[in-house]
C-alpha cells in the first residue's frame, strides 16, 4: 500500500525524513548507509495529524495544557492523565488503521510469520536527537507486540506518551512549545537478543574521542538503558582498535521474551552465567567497528543501541543496530579534552549520562 500514513524504512528517502520523527529518520539513514537494521515501517506525521483531527482531539490537548504554571508537577500530571484518557477514548482514523494493518501484515509475510510477528512499537518524535537535547526516554516503547490489534493499540499509546508528565516537564524546562512537537511511530521486527547494550564513540566520563565505550548485558537492551542492570563495561581504542579496559559485572537478571504471554519479562540469569562476559572479544570488536563507521557516516560522536541475536550463519550471533543518535553532552563543548585526561571510571556510560528509557511491556 502506497499511503502517506505509513512508509517502510527500506523505501524511505532523505526527503521523507521530516515526516518520520527522529528515531525512524535515524533508522532510515542507517539502512541507506548499509548498516544491519531490523526491517520495519514508520507511521508518519501525517497519521499523527489525522489522529489530532479526530473528534476535536487537538483542541482537548490544548485545553489540558493551557495556563499550566511552569514547574507545577501536580498540574503536569493532571494534564497528562486527561490527555491519555482523550487518546484512549478515540479509535484510530479508519484509513490510518488500514495502512498500519496492511504494512504490519506485509512485515509478517516477509518474515514468514502468519500474522503474528513480534514487533517493537517505538515512539519517534520530531524533536528527538536535537544537538542540545536528545529527548532520550521521554516517550514510550512497547516490546514484543503481536497481532494487528495489539500494534494499533500500541501506536495510539505511543502517540499519547508525547504528553506524559515527564515529557511535558522536559519540554517546559527547555522552553519547547508542546504544539511544535509531533509524533511518528516505528513498527520494527523484534530482535530476540542474547546480549545487547549501548555504545558511545567517545568516553562519556571525560569526552575522550579516541575511545569507544560499550556497555552490555544479557538479554534485551532495555535492562541496560533503563539502568536496572549493571552492565559489563568495555573500552576500545578507536585508533589502535584494541580493547584497553574491561569490567565484568554480576548480571543477576535479564530482560527476555515470554513467547507464551506475548510480552517481555525479567528473568534470573543462571548462576553459572551471571559473571561471564556478555560479549566475547570478536563481538566487542564488531560493535566498535560498526559504531566507528556510524560516527564517520554521520560526522560526529554517536550514541548507538544494538543487539546480538542467535543466527545459524553467524557463530558469534548476528549484530543488529536499533538506534543511533548524536551524543549531546561533550559534542557541544568547544573542545574535547586530550586522551587520558581522566582515568576510565568503573561506572557504565548509561549511569553517567543517559536518561533512563521508559519501557512499557
Q: Are residues 128 and 206 in the same domain?
A: no
Q: Are residues 301 and 178 in the same domain?
A: no
Residue 361 resides in a domain? no
Q: Are residues 50 and 131 in the same domain?
A: yes
- pLDDT above 60 (res 278): yes
User: C-alpha distances in angstroms, 188 versus 132, 144, 148, 155?
Assistant: 27, 10, 13, 12
107-160 pLDDT, tens per residue?
Answer: 999 999 998 999 999 999 987 545 554 455 567 899 999 999 999 999 999 999
Under the banding of pLDDT at 50, 70 and 90, the label for residue 361 is very low
Q: Are residues 115 and 45 in the same domain?
A: yes
Q: Which region among 13-22, 121-130, 166-175, 322-331 has the lowest average model confidence (pLDDT)?
A: 121-130
Residue 138 resides in a domain? yes
Cell of 150: 495489539
Burial class of 116 by CB neighbour count within 10 A (0 to 12, 13 to 18, 19+): exposed
Burial class of 69 by CB neighbour count within 10 A (0 to 12, 13 to 18, 19+): exposed
What is the C-alpha separation between 308 and 276, in angstroms, rounded?
16
Query: Is there a contact between 317 and 191 (Cβ–Cβ < 8 Å)?
Result: no
7-47 pLDDT, tens per residue?
Answer: 999 999 999 999 999 999 999 999 999 999 999 999 999 99
Residue 337 has φ and ψ, to the nearest 5°, of -65, 160
Q: Are residues 161 and 249 in the same domain?
A: no
Residue 4 has φ and ψ, to the nearest 5°, of -65, -20
Q: Are residues 43 and 80 in the same domain?
A: yes
- pLDDT above 60 (res 76): yes
Domain boundary among 156, 189, 222: 189
242: CATH: 3.30.470.20
Average pLDDT on 207-236 reads: 93
What is the C-alpha separation between 15 and 173, in angstroms, rounded?
31
> What integer pLDDT is reported at residue 138 of this predicted model?
60
Q: What is the span of the domain harbouring residue 169?
A: 6-189
Strand pairing partners for 232?
216
Residue 1 resides in a domain? no
Q: Are residues 201 and 114 in the same domain?
A: no
Q: Are residues 38 and 77 in the same domain?
A: yes
48: CATH: 3.30.1490.20
- pLDDT above 50 (res 340): no
Q: Are residues 203 and 284 in the same domain?
A: yes
User: C-alpha distances in angstroms, 202 versus 164, 339, 360?
Assistant: 31, 10, 30
Q: Are residues 73 and 158 in the same domain?
A: yes
Domain boundary among 166, 189, 212: 189
Q: Are residues 262 and 165 in the same domain?
A: no
Domain boundary among 151, 168, 189: 189
Domain count, the chain: 2
Q: Are residues 153 and 37 in the same domain?
A: yes
Would you say the pTM of this structure is higher than 0.95?
no
Amino acid at each position: 500500500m502506497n499511503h502517506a500514513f505509513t512508509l517502510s524504512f527500506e523505501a524511505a528517502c532523505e526527503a521523507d525524513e521530516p515526516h518520520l520523527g527522529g528515531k525512524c529518520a535515524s533508522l532510515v539513514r542507517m539502512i541507506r548507509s548499509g548498516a544491519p537494521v531490523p526491517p520495519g515501517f514508520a507511521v508518519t506525521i501525517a497519521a499523527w495529524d489525522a489522529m489530532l483531527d479526530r473528534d476535536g482531539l487537538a483542541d482537548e490537548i490544548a485545553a489540558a495544557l493551557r495556563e499550566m504554571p511552569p514547574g507545577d508537577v501536580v498540574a503536569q500530571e493532571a494534564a497528562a492523565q486527561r490527555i491519555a484518557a482523550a487518546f484512549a477514548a478515540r479509535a484510530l482514523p479508519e484509513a490510518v488503521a488500514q495502512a498500519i494493518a496492511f504494512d504490519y501484515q506485509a512485515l509478517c509475510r516477509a518474515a514468514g510469520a502468519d500474522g503474528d510477528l513480534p514487533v517493537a512499537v517505538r515512539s519517534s518524535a520530531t524533536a528527538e536527537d536535537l544537538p542540545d537535547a536528545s529527548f532520550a526516554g521521554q516517550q514510550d516503547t512497547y516490546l514484543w507486540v503481536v497481532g494487528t490489534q495489539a500494534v494499533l493499540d500500541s501506536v495510539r499509546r505511543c502517540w499519547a506518551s508525547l504528553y506524559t508528565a515527564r515529557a511535558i516537564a522536559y519540554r517546559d524546562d527547555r522552553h519547547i512549545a508542546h504544539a511544535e512537537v509531533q509524533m511518528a511511530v516505528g513498527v520494527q521486527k523484534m530482535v530476540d537478543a542474547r546480549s545487547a547494550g549501548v555504545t558511545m564513540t567517545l568516553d562519556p566520563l571525560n569526552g575522550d574521542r579516541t575511545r569507544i565505550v560499550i556497555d552490555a548485558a544479557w538479554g534485551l537492551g532495555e535492562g541496560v538503558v533503563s539502568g536496572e542492570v549493571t552492565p559489563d563495561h568495555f573500552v576500545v581504542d578507536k585508533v589502535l582498535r584494541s580493547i584497553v579496559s574491561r569490567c565484568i559485572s554480576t548480571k543477576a537478571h535479564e530482560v527476555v521474551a515470554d513467547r507464551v504471554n506475548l510480552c517481555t519479562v525479567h528473568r534470573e540469569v543462571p548462576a553459572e552465567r551471571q559473571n561471564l562476559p556478555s560479549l566475547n572479544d570478536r563481538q566487542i570488536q564488531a560493535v566498535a567497528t560498526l559504531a566507528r563507521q556510524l560516527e564517520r557516516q554521520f560526522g560526529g560522536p554517536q550514541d548507538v543501541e544494538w543487539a546480538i541475536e542467535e543466527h545459524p550463519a553467524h557463530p558469534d550471533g548476528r549484530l543488529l543496530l536499533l538506534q543511533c543518535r548524536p551524543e549531546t553532552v561533550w559534542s557541544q563543548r568547544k573542545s574535547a579534552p586530550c586522551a587520558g585526561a581522566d582515568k576510565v571510571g568503573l561506572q557504565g556510560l548509561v549511569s553517567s549520562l543517559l536518561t533512563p528509557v521508559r519501557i512499557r511491556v
